Structure 1
Amino acid sequence: MNYFLTYTVYVLILSVLMGISTWKLFKKMGYNPLFAFIPFYNYFIILKETKHPKWWAVLSYLPIVGPIMMSVFHIYLMKKFGKNLFQHQLLTVILPFIYMASVNYSKDAEIEDESDNELFLTDEEKNTKKKDTFIGSITFAVVFATIIHVFVTQPFGIPTGSMERTLLVGDFLFVNKWSYGYRLPMRPVAIPFLQGTIMDTGEKGNPKDDPKSYAEGVKLPYSRILQFNKPQRNDVVVFNYPQDSVHVAIDRKDPYVKRCVAVAGDTFEMRGGRLFVNGKPETVLGDQEVQHAYTVNTGSQLDIPSLYNTYGFLPVREMQTEKGFLYAFQGLTDKTAAEIKALPNVVSMEESIFPKDSATISYKLNADKSAYTKSVDTTQSIFPVNKPWNQDWYGPVRIPKKGDVVAINKESLPMYQWIISEYEHNSLENKNGKIFINGKETSQYTIKQDYYMMVGDNRDASLDARFFGFVPEENIVGKPMFTWMSLQGAFSDASSTYQAPKKIRWERMFKATNTGEANKTSYWWVAAMILILFFGWEYFVKLFGKKKKEEDL
């Protein structure tokens, strides 16, 4: 309700600005000046008078799309009154209500005489009309793509191996934004197709200083419509990274994709690198392969490029030691691990499992380069920070559920402080051992929304909820639908000494992603139909337009 109330306020403000800056122009076009103040109808009149499709008016106040369409409609209106030069159009876009007001209140603003018959147009006028038609076509192609991107589905690339071998590095997906109800845009004024920033200023710059792709000052509260389903266990889910410190706007935080291994109310646990939910081992679906990290010592160098060709995804770090070579593999299936262990130059091989009751651990090479030693670092971001857990021995922890009443004290605060202060937007203070929420001392808190545990299928190479904590329902974007492109080697892997050779994985293209089945449904026929309809429709429109012109002549 708050969303639509805030949205209505924005629409009314824009409508008042539109009316104040154009009411005289509406009067000169033969309409009641008050019509300039009526949302949607004011743009309907402009489109009618400038001979453009009147239904476009419905696009005028949509989030993200609306500002683009408003600029286009404002330019149409200015052209109606003879403002055809580039500088006029530029002023109309960057200072819309100010420039239109200057025209509106000027004494010489008159409707420009127009002729529909191309026989009476000069060559210059014909060229201008062709240019305007071309620019209009490009604009509405962008608008159409923006509508699909904002309201239906969004493309998403897989840059890391955290979901191998379900989703491969270099897979490009389309995400269904309606899977769990449509989350309405929270930053309605934004540059189309950009997630959070316009550009990266580089490693030396502060990411917070990168130019944003949206207007932070124009904001709408979180709201979701038509929510018939919620994330279920084993769903592959796209969500906004909860602890993104660069972007305050929820829908502008970095997108992540993981598997929902536990839902609100479940108990999650890792025991020696094995995942348990509610005390039971995880259910492994047909498209999943259990994977683990391994340390391998060899007497001579392994042929890693050959192994890449055989097994595909195979991130590995190679170090030379006095006794031979040491390899740290990520994401080996049981079958792959057994085959590598059987290689003649392998001396020893063991699964890399962190010790129980220790904080996050890193590996450092010994001074004599004979082996790696495990280094405990209590400053690492395992969640919560006061638990002696790591990614292999984690929990048990109960996933917060809407309505849960949880105890808040010194021990439990690290578990819930982000929920209270960041996700559910309360003030939180810890004074002299006493905890205050919204200014009141308290020892308990009622959870306001559902939370989820999102973990990568490739557990030993995944930055997931074990590190950044529970994922709020408001951060959920949707489900991946299908892979529209798969390019091996599209992204470099800093965790690997070797990089996969570049090639297109034709067998993965236009395959369904979020089914849990090993053999995915192919959607090649859908892609073919879309292309045929698109080009066929374009041909039909051109043919119809040509015949109509001949009839008019």
Structure 2
Amino acid sequence: MILLRLVCLIRKDLMAVKIQKTGKQHSREWFEALMIAAVFAAIIRVFILESYRIPTSSMESTLLAGDFLFVNKFVYGAKVPMTDYRLPAVDTVERGDIIVFKFPKDRSLNYIKRCVALPGDTLAIRERQLFVNNAAVPLPEHAQFLNEMVPAGQPDQQIFPRYSDFNKDNYGPLRIPAQGDVLELNRNTIYLYGSLIADEGHRVSVMGERIMIDGVPATSYSVTQNYYFAMGDNRDNSLDSRYWGFLPEKDMIGQALMVYWSWDPHISLLSPIEKIGSIRWNRMALMVH
């Protein structure tokens, strides 16, 4: 009887150890699965697809503030984090693409605009009509103007480049720099190309009539990368290339793909019923173009 009781106790102890070991194995398996999932999610976010929220009205009515969309990052060649290396591109940027990029004046910010001109293109705006290489470009389907047109010859000192007679409705003509272009440098063109040269890693200064690059007088400069010109579809309410200049290829993140969620950003999450009531169901799965 005592022996039987002892066998039962040993059996219970062995079963407890087995159960405990199995529980640890399950925990480890779950942990490994979560780690693998996290790694795959990080790879997808960095190199393939990333979520982006529209914060302003600069792309209305094509995209609305409060839209959440997926950005295709591999199409233009995703950038490897903490390096200047890019993966091979699947496709090139085309005129009309809606692109997400690092804001060249503050690269901690992501911007979304429409690419309207490519490297080597000549861009002009005459009475709000956009021309690229002397061909009129139709206004995007949902684009809009909100304010009165500014007449030609009325300069806006907020417009790029400084001291030009350009304004938001009458702009250019302006050639978009391409890799290998040789830019003529003088007191007039330095306002157009100075920030580009500085962003490519050089010190730029003006001494009298001379342009200095890295302390050496220069009359020309060879461009080392491609540039683009980007504009918002809400043409009167968009901080775009007309105000800050050329978009470097290195700042390109990806192409806007699809709206997957949308609601009114002005309604607080502290008002859940009202917030849920603001969901824009008609914009779900909306392809961006």
The two structures share one fold, judged by TM-score above 0.5: yes
Contact conserved, 1:159 with 1:491, CA < 8 A, in 2? no
Matched residue type, 2:172: G
Q: CA deviation at 1:136?
A: 4.3
Alpha-carbon spacing, 1:398–1:484, altered in 2? closer, same or farther (3 Å): same
Matched residue type, 2:117: A
**1:355 alignment counterpart:** 151
Runs of 4+ in 1 over 6 A off after TM superposition: none
Q: CA deviation at 1:274?
A: 2.4
Q: CA deviation at 1:149?
A: 0.4
Does residue 392 (structure 1) correspond to residue 289 (structure 2)? The answer is: no
Q: CA deviation at 1:398?
A: 1.0
**1:173 alignment counterpart:** 69
**2:287 alignment counterpart:** 512
- If the length of structure 1 is used for normalisation, what is the TM-score? 0.45
**2:214 alignment counterpart:** 438
Could you report, residue by residue, the CA deviation over 1:188-211 in whole angstroms, capped at 9, with x for unpaired residues? xxxxxxxxxxxxxxxxxxxxxxxx
Q: CA deviation at 1:396?
A: 1.4
Aligned partner of 2:105 among 243, 247, 252: 243
**1:256 alignment counterpart:** 111
3-state SS of 1:460 partner: coil
5+ unaligned residues in a row in structure 1: which ranges? 1-116, 188-219, 248-252, 295-351, 361-377, 493-499, 515-553
5+ unaligned residues in a row in structure 2: which ranges? 1-13, 268-274
RMSD: 2.5
3-state SS of 2:166 partner: coil
Q: CA deviation at 1:130?
A: 5.5
Contact conserved, 1:272 with 1:392, CA < 8 A, in 2? yes
Aligned partner of 2:120 among 247, 259, 265: 265
**1:46 alignment counterpart:** none
The separation in 2 between residues aligned to 1:122 and 1:233, in whole angstroms, is 63
Greater RCO (CA < 8 Å, at least 6 residues apart): 2
Matched residue type, 1:454: A
Contact conserved, 1:173 with 1:483, CA < 8 A, in 2? yes
**2:131 alignment counterpart:** 276
Aligned partner of 1:456 among 229, 232, 243: 232
Q: CA deviation at 1:272?
A: 2.2
The separation in 2 between residues aligned to 1:503 and 1:280, in whole angstroms, is 41
Matched residue type, 2:218: T
The separation in 2 between residues aligned to 1:142 and 1:225, in whole angstroms, is 21
3-state SS of 2:93 partner: coil
Residues 306-325 of structure 1 aligned to structure 2 (within 5 Å): none
Does residue 292 (structure 1) correspond to residue 145 (structure 2)? The answer is: yes
> How many residue pairs get matched?
269
**2:9 alignment counterpart:** none
3-state SS of 2:41 partner: helix
Between the aligned residues of both structures, percent identity stands at 36
Q: CA deviation at 1:228?
A: 4.7
Residues 185-224 of structure 1 aligned to structure 2 (within 5 Å): 185=81, 187=82, 220=83, 222-224=84-86
Contact conserved, 2:46 with 2:78, CA < 8 A, in 1? no
Q: Whose helix proportion is higher, 1 or 2?
A: 1
Residues 5-404 of structure 1 aligned to structure 2 (within 5 Å): 120-121=17-18, 123=20, 132-185=28-81, 187=82, 220=83, 222-244=84-106, 247=107, 253-285=108-140, 288-294=141-147, 352-360=148-156, 378=157, 380=158, 382-404=159-181
- If the length of structure 2 is used for normalisation, what is the TM-score? 0.83
Alpha-carbon spacing, 1:353–1:501, altered in 2? closer, same or farther (3 Å): farther
